[in-house]
Amino acid sequence: MKITHNKVGQNLNLTDSNKADRAKDKSPLNAVSTESQTQNLKEIASASKGEAAQVKLSERAQDIRQAKELAMAAPDVDMEKVEKLRKLIDEGKYKVDAKAVADRMVNDGLLNLGQTNNE
């Protein structure tokens, strides 16, 4: 349903688009066009039986497809690195540089702030 308001808030135009759409669907003209479209599709399908569709991808599209396949094949987590860090933590040898972490957080926050202001 479409309701249009003026500045005072009074309803100017009330329509029920679903009702109009249902009326169109029931019209005899619509039934004929749907039947003819179905017939056209059947004719096209029967004419192309036995023929294979061919698609030629550009070199760029092939490169993108190959990059996507490589990315999908790569594991999400580097388990070797995880095990190395887990071992260091268990042995108490893993040290975190709090100043470096804080600096990175501030820099990332400033970058994000700059991106939201520019949009």
Domains of the chain, by residue range, sit at 2-47, 59-118
**pLDDT tens by residue, 57-113:** 899 999 999 999 988 888 888 899 999 999 999 999 999 999 999 999 999 998 888
pTM of the model: 0.31
Q: 15 with 2: CB under 8 angstroms?
A: yes
User: DSSP string covering 39-101, please?
Assistant: HHHHHHHHHTTTPPP-----HHHHHHHHHHHHHHHS-SS-HHHHHHHHHHHHHT-----HHHH
Looking up tokens 């268990």 gives: 90
